[in-house]
């Protein structure tokens, strides 16, 4: 990639899209990188605007593990993700609706996205029965039986009240026979259509989900299906699902670029469940706008921390007497306040503050990463940002940043 | 008790004590309750003044479980407690000394008190060997052998650098044969003398510990021993140890009143490891100035929460749809921000935020309780405070506040 000297040149940006997207979900492309497909955009929502590229901290049960809403504000999280499958089972969508919706329930007055539960069926349920009409499953909480149609799923997500909701989809594993992936593609498209018809709440954006596994032709077929539906009634965004399920990263990037090229430029693109920092930066360059992943919080709980100089495990003996901050380049509360020695001490004693401070830092790292991308895009220096990131990664060597 | 109408009357307060207490530990009695032995005092320390009666949140491993130092400041914790036994074993006193002491290590720039470890020998060690010279024990962390004399213990507490340090003592269980308690009383007194001789750091106050179990004569003998040492070289405070080890509360209060009466008025009195709120308020009326207890944080982790209307377990079904705050009378972040239904939801899902929010609230409850006592003492209304507290307790019935 070449460093761009232009701070204003906007070669790829389109004029304001002519769609029937409700005005509260207006999507604007501010600028694009001339040397990649990276772009700087804003998406309006009823709870405020999101600047993309953005990372969404995962709050499965209407809480980002161990982190207060006020701390999410401090680290400038713009939008968080919650999970329909888990919240439907416990505490229940009726209860959350009665509490005034997810925003009120968890005291987060900024944008929320709910995943539909499609991925949770795939990853959690061993009692799943799925056909074209819908999906029956047993609760992982109490074994009780449940049945969801796309329409029912939309109703539940309406009750939860997130700003952005996801269509019900069928995710396939890796590896998976092509004929089974093809069935999932067709079914997901059919469900996208039914979700679009069922979801009429003007305060909620509906994102369609592209499936197709690692099969380029099936990915393109999925896009084609969704665009046909979209031509009748717009989706407010498109997601790329069924990645990061075990396939080599290279395979993902092969189809990712292709899919992204075929998606409408005038709608946000969300790469679901991805990923580690090095994947994330590469995906930004491929034109992805939104990300979520449990890695920063899950790794934090194990003492694996992202730093500007690579990934470290703070529990290692070498940090026992290290009075320096976790990452001198980081401005988070953890790095401003405590030493590596103290963090290690907390982990050694299984103190709950350990995971709190570590999660806060890792989330700040991810949010700084996408903030860096946005600033670079704004300044016309995305190529430099990209190069510097991977050079730092190389310096990190086997502790390389986010190399899964 | 009679309500006092006086806001300035100070019948029991003594003139400024004539002791060799270092000036940075000046202890002033601001006012006393005419109808009880309760008193409002200040204790200066190198890290600021403590207003008593005060409750000290327990931070065994140099962290109050799950609570940030900044949050401790928000709930106006004035002093916290850390534990010499645990910190000596992990991460080690040398390491903490090199880090600049406990205050720097844990980023708490307010007063700290370290317990000596006497109680931890009693409660944790099954490999304890104790004689007049000192105590040998195996580490609960790695089984390694250690030997402490009172002098060694003082050196360790000097390294940790708390504002207030405790003598090494021998705690006895309940029940315990009187002859064994007598040995512990004599030994603790001998160790008090050696600790006083060894502890010459002018930035650290040394508190002596009264032992004697439930035997009134042994308690008084313990006081007599300590006062004899004190007449040669002052202790900066006196603690009452060996309570809350299983004996009926009534038995504690029998000797507590008596002991307190015999302690010098011009020094702070600290009732170690006690207790639930109802015990605490009664002990304030008996003339105790300082308290610590794991109950608020330990109970919080189990979902047991103190409220102005009694103790509740938030995990109970009855709170599932309860949109009201945990305690409308409480001003803590938890009560200001979240509903009972949301707190229950967090507990149901074992979310780490559950124990954080619950601990914060329970600590606020305890700190409000002693703040209420101080304000009542200042306003001459301690009798009314006392009466209201126990009336509210009675209304709480079987969920009664702090009835262990």
How high is the pLDDT of residue B22?
53
In sequence order, the β-bridge partners of residue B58 are B81
Which of B351, B354, B358, B363 is best to mutate for the A interface (most A CBs within 10 A)?
B351
Q: Is the link from the previous residue into A259 a cis peptide, with omega within 30 of 0?
A: no
Express each pLDDT in B32-44 by its tens digit.
Answer: 999 999 999 999 9
- What is chain B's mean pLDDT, rounded? 91
Q: H-helix or E-strand containing A259?
A: helix A249-262
Domains of chain B and any CATH numbers: 23-293 (3.20.20.105), 299-399 (no CATH)
The yes-or-no verdict on residue A145 having pLDDT over 80 is yes
Express each pLDDT in A97-143 by its tens digit.
Answer: 999 999 999 999 999 999 999 888 778 867 788 999 999 999 989 98
CB contact under 8 A, A348 and B91: yes
Rounded to a whole number of angstroms, the distance from the CA of A322 to the nearest CA of chain B is 9
The yes-or-no verdict on residue A12 having pLDDT over 70 is no
Q: Is the link from the previous residue into A332 a cis peptide, with omega within 30 of 0?
A: no
Which of A74, A91, A321 is best to mutate for the B interface (most B CBs within 10 A)?
A91
List chain A residues with CB under 8 Å of B98.
321, 323
Rounded to a whole number of angstroms, the distance from the CA of A294 to the nearest CA of chain B is 15
- Which range has the worst mean pLDDT, B98-112, B123-137, B327-341? B123-137
The chain B residue lying nearest A102, using CA atoms, is B342
Closest by Cα among A337, A317, A304, A352 to B91: A317
What dihedral angle (degrees, nearest 10) is formed by the CA atoms of A350, A351, A355, A358? Answer: -100
Express each pLDDT in A164-223 by its tens digit.
Answer: 999 999 999 999 999 999 999 999 999 999 999 999 999 999 999 999 999 999 999 999
Express each pLDDT in B61-84 by its tens digit.
Answer: 999 999 999 999 999 999 999 999
CB contact under 8 A, B345 and A67: no
Query: Angle, nearest 10°, between helix axes A216-232 and A178-198?
Result: 20
How far apart (Å, rounded) are the C-alpha atoms in residues B212 and B169?
11
Pairing of strands B50-52, B39-43: antiparallel
How high is the pLDDT of residue A312?
94
Stretch 320-339 of chain A: residues touching chain B, C-beta under 8 Å: 320-321, 323, 333, 337-339
Q: Return the beta strands (E) in A272-362 as ranges.
A: 290-292, 304-307, 310-313
In this structure, what token pair is assigned to residue B181?
């308690």
How far apart (Å, rounded) are the C-alpha atoms in residues B222 and B244?
18
Residue A142 at interface with chain B, using a CB cutoff of 8 Å: no
pLDDT band at B128 (very low <50, low <70, confident <90, very high): confident
How high is the pLDDT of residue B396?
73
Q: Is the link from the previous residue into A11 a cis peptide, with omega within 30 of 0?
A: no
Q: Which residues of A are catalytic?
A: 115, 292
Using the CB atoms, write b or e for A344-378: b if 16+ within 10 Å: bbbbbbebbbbbbbbbbbbbbbbbbbbbbbbebbe
HSE at residue A58, side-chain half, CA atoms within 13 A, is: 19
How high is the pLDDT of residue B92?
97
Total CB pairs under 8 A between chain A and B: 102
Check: CB of residue B44 under 8 Å from CB of residue B30: no
Check: CB of residue B364 under 8 Å from CB of residue B327: no
Write the ipTM. 0.91
8-state DSSP, B82: E
- Residues with Cβ within 8 Å of A338's Cβ and at least 6 positions away in sequence, in order, are A325, A326, A357, B107
How high is the pLDDT of residue A22?
53
Closest by Cα among A388, A396, A383, A395 to A4: A383
- What is chain A's mean pLDDT, rounded? 91
Express each pLDDT in A58-107 by its tens digit.
Answer: 999 999 999 999 999 999 999 999 999 999 999 999 999 999 999 999 99
Q: Is the link from the previous residue into B275 a cis peptide, with omega within 30 of 0?
A: yes
Express each pLDDT in B143-180 by its tens digit.
Answer: 899 999 999 999 999 999 999 999 999 999 999 999 99
Nearest to B63 among A107, A321, A351 (CB): A351
């Amino acid at each position: 990639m070449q460093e761009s000297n232009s701070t204003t040149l906007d070669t790829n940006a389109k004029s304001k899209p002519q769609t029937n997207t409700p005005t509260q979900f207006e999507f604007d492309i501010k600028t694009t990188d001339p040397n990649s497909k990276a772009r700087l955009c804003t998406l309006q929502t009823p709870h405020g605007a999101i600047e993309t590229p953005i990372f969404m901290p995962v709050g499965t049960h209407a809480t980002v593990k161990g982190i207060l809403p006020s701390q999410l504000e401090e680290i400038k999280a713009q939008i968080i993700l919650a999970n329909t499958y888990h919240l439907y089972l416990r505490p229940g969508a009726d209860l959350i609706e009665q509490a005034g919706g997810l925003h009120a329930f968890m005291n987060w007055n900024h944008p929320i996205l709910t995943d539909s539960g499609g991925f949770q069926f795939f990853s959690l349920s061993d009692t799943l029965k799925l056909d074209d009409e819908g999906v029956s499953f047993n609760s992982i909480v109490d074994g009780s039986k449940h049945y969801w149609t796309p329409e029912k799923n939309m109703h539940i997500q309406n009750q939860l009240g997130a700003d952005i909701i996801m269509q019900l989809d069928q995710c396939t594993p890796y590896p998976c026979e092509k004929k089974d992936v093809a069935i999932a593609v067709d079914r997901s498209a059919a469900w996208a259509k039914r979700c679009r018809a069922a979801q009429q709440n003007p305060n909620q954006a509906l994102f369609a989900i592209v499936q197709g596994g690692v099969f380029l032709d099936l990915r393109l077929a999925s896009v084609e299906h969704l665009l046909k539906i979209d031509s009748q009634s717009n989706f407010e965004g498109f997601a790329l699902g069924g990645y990061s399920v075990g396939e080599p990263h290279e395979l993902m990037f092969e189809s990712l670029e292709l899919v992204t090229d075929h998606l409408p430029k005038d709608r946000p693109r969300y790469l679901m469940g991805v990923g580690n920092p090095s994947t994330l930066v590469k995906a930004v360059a491929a034109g992805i706008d939104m990300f979520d992943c449990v890695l920063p919080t899950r790794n934090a709980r194990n003492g694996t921390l992202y730093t500007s100089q690579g990934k470290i495990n703070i529990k290692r003996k070498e940090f026992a007497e290290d009075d320096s901050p976790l990452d001198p380049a980081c401005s988070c509360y953890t790095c401003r306040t405590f030493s590596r020695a103290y963090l290690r001490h907390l982990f050694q004693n299984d103190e709950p503050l350990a995971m709190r401070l570590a999660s806060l830092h890792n989330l700040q790292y991810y949010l700084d990463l996408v903030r860096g991308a946005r600033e670079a895009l704004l300044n016309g220096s995305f190529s430099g940002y990209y190069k510097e990131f991977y050079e730092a990664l190389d310096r990190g060597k086997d502790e390389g940043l986010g190399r899964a």
